[in-house]
Structure 1
Amino acid sequence: MKNSKGIRKPHVSSSSTSDRRLASASKAASYLHSSIGNSKVTTVNKPTTSTAADWNPKHFRLFVGNLGEDANDALLDNAFKKYESMSKVHVPVDRKTGKNKGYGFVAFADANDYLKAFKEMNGKYIGQHPVHLKRAESSVGKKKHKK
C-alpha cells in the first residue's frame, strides 16, 4: 500500500484474538449507534432457533447489541423482567461454536414498556458489557414478495 507521496507503507496484520475482537467491536459499535429516534431499522430475516411463528407481529421488539459471552436467554429475561408487558427474549447461538452471537431480541406487548425499556436500559450493563439498544423490525407477519 502506498501513501500520497508514493512511499510504501508496510501492511500490518495481527491474528491475535484480542485484535480481531477489537476490530469487530468497533465495527459493531459504529453499526449500533443509531437510536430509535433516527428511524433506522435492524431487519431480522431469518431467526436462528426460534421460528417466525414464535414472535407476535403486533409486539414491539428491541435489538439488544454488544452482549458479552456470558449472555443467554435467561440473563436477558432477568434484565427486562421488570417490564410487565415483556413477552419474549431470544439470544441467537452459533450452531458451530455453541456461543451466543453477541446480540439478542426482546419483545413487548405495550409500546410504553418498550419505550421505557429503551430509555432505561440503553447503555446499562447486562452481564459483562453495556448494551446498545435499537428498534428491531422483522418480517414476522409480512409476506415476502418473489421477483
Structure 2
Amino acid sequence: MQKSLLIVLLVAVFGALAIYFFNLQLPAYFSFALGAIIAAAINYMTASTSTAEITPYKGPIMTLYVGNLPYRVNETEVKTLFEKYGPVNSVRLVRDRKTGRRKGFGFVEISEKGGQQALAKLNDFIFQERTLKVREAKSQDTDRDDAE
C-alpha cells in the first residue's frame, strides 16, 4: 500500500514537471483524467505483484515462541528474520496491557518445515545485540490441563 502510494506520488510530480517544462497547453479536465488513468494503472500493477505477500501459507504450520527479543523490535523485523527459513503467516509481539510497551517476547506462525529450520538456526542466535530463545510454543489447552 505505502509503496504504491509513493510510486503514484512520484509519477504525479514528474507528470506535473513535464507539463510545466514542455509548456503543454492541456485542458484541466484532460490532465486530471490522464493522471487518474495512469495512477490506476500503476496501482493495479503494484497491487497484483504484492498479492503473494498477502496470501497466507496454507500447508502445515507451527507456532514458535520467541523470547529475549529487543524491546524496540517490530513485527516486520521479526517476520523478515524468520522468512529466511519459510513462509510466515503471522507475528504477534506481546505488549504490557497497562503501558503498551513490548514485553520482549512473541509468537511466530511459520510453515512446519521452515519452523524446524528456524528453531535449529535461530535459538541462541544474536539478534540486535540480544540472544534469542526460540522454542515450539505450547498451546493454551495444554497449559490448562497441566494446571489442574
- Deviations along 1:43-66, one digit per CA (max 9) or x if unpaired, are xxxxxxxxxxxxx9x620110011
User: Which position in structure 1 is the counterpart of 2:119?
Assistant: 118
1:85-100 correspondence to structure 2 within 5 Å: 85-100=87-102
Moved over 6 A (4+): none
The aligned residue for residue 138 of structure 2 is 137
Larger Rg: 2
Counterpart mapping for 1:14-29 below 5 A: none
Is contact 1:93-1:101 (8 Å) kept?
yes
User: Once the 2 structures are TM-superposed, how far is the Cα of residue 67 of structure 1 from its aligned partner?
Assistant: 1.0
- The Cα shift of 1:136 comes to 0.2
* CA–CA separation in structure 1 for the residues paired with 2:134 and 2:73: 15
Identical counterparts, % of pairs: 28
SS of residue matched to 2:90: strand
Question: Following superposition of structure 1 onto structure 2, how do residues 21-100 of structure 1 map, counting pairs within 5 Å?
Answer: 59-100=61-102
**5+ residue gaps, structure 2:** 1-57
Secondary structure (helix, strand or coil) at the match of 1:76 reads: helix
Superposed CA RMSD in Å reads 2.6
Inter-partner Cα distance in structure 1 for 2:86 and 2:64: 15
Q: Which has the higher helix share?
A: 2
Q: Secondary structure at the match of 1:102?
A: strand
CA contact (8 A) 1:89 1:107 kept: yes
Matched, 1:128 2:129: yes
Amino acid at match of 1:79: L
- Name the SS of the counterpart of 2:102 in structure 1: coil
Residue 46 (structure 1) aligns with: none
- Per-residue deviation, 1:103: 0.5
1: CA distance between counterparts of 2:113 and 2:83? 15
Retained in 1: the 8 A contact 2:86–2:113? no
Asked whether the 8 Å contact 2:91–2:109 carries over to 1, the reply is yes
Structure with bigger RCO (C-alpha 8 Å, 6+ apart): 1
Give the gaps of 5 or more residues in structure 1.
1-55
C-alpha contact (below 8 Å) 2:86/2:115 kept by paired residues: no
